Amino acid sequence: MEMNEALIYLQEALGLSAKTKTWPGSARLPLHLRAIEVRAVDANGFSFLLASLPTGVGLPEAKRVYSQLALRAETPVVVSFPDADARQRKALVAQGIPFVCPGRQAFLPFMGTACTERGGARSRNHASKMSPNAQAAAIWGAAQEPYRPYDLCRALGISASRASEAITELVDRGLARRERRERRVVVFPVAVDLLLSEHMAELSSPVSKVFFARKTPQIDYLVDAGETALAARSMLAASGMEQKAVLRSAWRQLSDLEVVDGELPDNETAMIQVWRYAPMFAGSSRIDDISLALSLAAIDDERIQLEVDRMFGKEYPWQEAL
């Protein structure tokens, strides 16, 4: 029943055309997870697992189920959490955990989608979201002079074909102009203010999932992310648990360090954000301000919003990126 309610809600609230099928990995799950109904979902070009939590499950169990499935899945994991109250939903959003609470809220950051219902009124973002490489190119390019495709390859650590695809997408969106000069292609990007003022709805959080890991030198080496990174460049007090970021293609190398949230003290645990594009551009030692702000946009905390506004010197509509 809960699975059907979640699918109906996604269709009605977000307009998703979802098809489900059996997930082959279910048979290989530990015994304590086999009571959870897990289905593979294809919706509007996105694939993910939907795990239906039974009635009465609390937040710690929901996060444990998510973490265990995320380790074993090749696609994003979404938990259907029908009993989640406002506090629990806020905690899931803050930790980047995708979820559906039928009739109340859906948070699918890997699709660039968030939906809430208040008093029966539905709101959703219809904007076409940029691909990860195009978003990274737009953000990096906004701080550059005109550049060559080769420069983008080096900055993002991507191939020439991927860079060409990203530039073409930006040109199609009106976010760049491409010219040929002396047998060379030169790209003219838009400025930061235009990108954030008029194209915010095309951006999305770079974070695809979150997990918790035991702190080790290997974890300490990762770049600071989330509230930890914001605290380092603002007046915000740092949280007790450090937040780090890792590229999606590398996160499985850390899976042996994963722990359940609350298993260890905060000062021995790190929250790891898994990013869709490289958290740092070449030549930088930290996450760029725009990507950092996008990763924090879903957190409903006035202190964070204030520090983000101060970082840019003006207010931008970050909520449009949800």
Q: Does 302 lie in the same domain as 230?
A: yes
What dihedral do alpha carbons 259, 264, 270, 275 form, nearest 10°? Answer: 20
Domain membership flag for residue 322: no
Domain membership flag for residue 245: yes
For helices 160-172 and 149-156, the axis angle rounded to 10 degrees is: 110
In the predicted structure, residue 118 carries a pLDDT above the cut 70: no
Residue with tokens 């993002």: 156
pLDDT tens per residue, range 226-272 = 999 999 999 898 888 999 999 988 887 888 888 877 788 889 999 99
Number of domains in the chain: 3
Domain membership flag for residue 167: yes
Q: Does 209 lie in the same domain as 192?
A: no
Domain membership flag for residue 237: yes
Residues 71, 69, 67: CA angle, nearest 5 degrees: 70
Give the end of a domain, one of 180, 201, 222: 201
Q: Does 170 lie in the same domain as 218?
A: no
28 Cβ contact partners less than 8 Å away, ≥ 6 residues apart: 72
Per-residue model confidence (pLDDT) at position 124: 42
Q: Does 115 lie in the same domain as 138?
A: no
Report residue 85 CA to chain centroid gap: 22
In the predicted structure, residue 117 carries a pLDDT above the cut 60: no
Q: Label residue 245 left, alpha or beta by phi (over 0 means left) and psi (-120 to 50 means alpha).
A: beta
Domain membership flag for residue 321: no
Give the domain CATH number at 161.
Answer: 1.10.10.10
Q: Which two tokens stand for residue 44?
A: 């509007």
Q: Does 109 lie in the same domain as 59?
A: yes
Q: Does 35 lie in the same domain as 68?
A: yes
User: Which contiguous run of DSSP H or E holds residue 211?
Assistant: strand 207-214
Q: How far apart are the first and last CA of the chain?
A: 28
Residues 246, 252, 253: CA angle, nearest 5 degrees: 85
Domain membership flag for residue 297: yes
- In total, the chain counts a number of residues equal to 322
Give the domain CATH number at 55.
Answer: 3.40.1350
In the predicted structure, residue 206 carries a pLDDT above the cut 80: yes
What range defines the domain where residue 77 resides?
A: 2-123
Per-residue model confidence (pLDDT) at position 25: 87
Domain membership flag for residue 151: yes
Report residue 119 CA to chain centroid gap: 27
In the predicted structure, residue 89 carries a pLDDT above the cut 60: yes
Strand 184-189 relative to strand 207-214, pairing:
unpaired
Q: Does 93 lie in the same domain as 17?
A: yes
Give the end of a domain, one of 160, 184, 201: 201
Give the end of a domain, one of 96, 123, 150: 123
pLDDT cut 90: percent of the chain above it: 48
Q: Does 251 lie in the same domain as 169?
A: no
pLDDT tens per residue, range 18-62 = 888 888 888 888 887 878 899 999 887 788 999 998 888 888 888
Average pLDDT, whole number, for the chain?
A: 87
